[in-house]
Amino acid sequence: MRVIASGLAVAGLLAVSACTAGRPPEASAPGASPAANATAAEQPAPAPASPAASPGTPALTPGQAQSALIGEADLGVPWTAGDSTATWHDGLLKAVAGQPDCQRLLDTLYADELLEPAGPHAVTVLDDGDDDAQLRYQVYASRAADVDRTLAWLRAVPGVCGQFAAQTTSAGTEAVQVADYRLPEFGEARQGLRVTLTAQPSPGDDPTTLTVDIAVVRVGDDAIVLTAGALGTLPADIAAQTLDIGVRRLAEVREQGRAQA
């Protein structure tokens, strides 16, 4: 059953929502990774930049990145193209946490910048008005090493910031829970997180809960980043459904490119 709240528009998350801000480097349950108790400062230093594509693999073109996006026709009703930021974006994602690692997560969710493009980058935003949900889907020409560092960081987050409190700009103190979000075997590597933020501006108010799923999948040297959020409960399996379509779409686009080369 999905809990629906009012007022969802589109974009910045999710522009659909990892622990100081927006530049990748580091979600599995606590103890699932040796890095789970490491702070951001303890994460390995970035490796030297590598080419955007492996030797012998043509780099993703802007047209291919655009063609690899999913759209409203892929997900069907009630998903439609969106063009504005969700009403809860600033109220619940713009917040201050006491721990630097957890602050990085909030800042990354707010900016929705899990990866730094190493080449063409395409993005689309979809809304589900029935469930007040928003989905942001991005295709990147990236570097495998950069994507893998981001995946390692995501795996460590639940062990460092499984539960914490943050002070929002307009909704008071919110309780944040972070858990591993298990993904099917998409691509060469992948990791997901489910982040639940619950705020109660005053004792007499009903709590407001924002649920955000974030996922990164590496397909060769390319990457897909998905953020999907809703006030209450997200549409069931929307992340897995979208990534299943998206990974196959990206593979088809790449195969067409090789055939035409």
- The tokens describing 204, both together, are 């007499």
Amino acid 28: pLDDT: 40
Amino acid 206: pLDDT: 84
Q: What are phi and psi of 128, to 5 degrees?
A: -115, 95
> What pTM was computed for the model?
0.76
Amino acid 193: pLDDT: 96
- Written as one letter, the residue type at 174 is E
Residue reference for tokens 């999948």? 217
Instruction: Note whether residue 35 is domain-resident.
Output: no
Instruction: Note whether residue 242 is domain-resident.
Output: yes
Residue reference for tokens 């059953």? 1
Query: How do 95-97 and 173-180 pair as beta strands?
Result: unpaired
Instruction: Note whether residue 231 is domain-resident.
Output: yes
Please state the length of the chain: 261
223: nearest Cα among 125, 120, 79, 152: 120
Amino acid 56: pLDDT: 55
Instruction: Note whether residue 81 is domain-resident.
Output: yes
Instruction: Note whether residue 64 is domain-resident.
Output: yes
223: nearest Cα among 121, 81, 87, 100: 121
Amino acid 235: pLDDT: 84
For residue 244, what are the contacts with CB-CB under 8 A and spacing of at least 6?
184, 186
The secondary element (H helix, E strand) that includes residue 239 is: helix 238-260
178: nearest Cα among 199, 160, 152, 200: 160
Neighbours of 258 (CB within 10 A): 9
Q: Are 97 and 106 in contact (CB under 8 A)?
A: yes
| Cα distances (Å, whole numbers) of residue 211 to 68, 222, 223 | 26, 27, 23
Instruction: Note whether residue 45 is domain-resident.
Output: no
Per-residue pLDDT of 8-37, as tens digits, reads: 333 333 333 433 334 444 444 434 443 444
Which DSSP state fits 130? T
95-97 sheet: strands from edge to edge: 79-81, 121-128, 133-141, 222-231, 208-219, 189-199, 173-180, 163-168, 95-97
Instruction: Note whether residue 17 is domain-resident.
Output: no
CATH of the domain at 59: 3.40.1000
Instruction: Note whether residue 5 is domain-resident.
Output: no
How many structural domains compose the chain?
A: 1
Amino acid 12: pLDDT: 37
| Domain interval for residue 81 | 53-260
Amino acid 90: pLDDT: 79
- The tokens describing 183, both together, are 């993904």
78 cis-preceded (ω within 30 degrees of 0) = yes
The low-confidence residues of the chain, meaning pLDDT below 70, are 1-57, 259, 261
Neighbours of 255 (CB within 10 A): 10
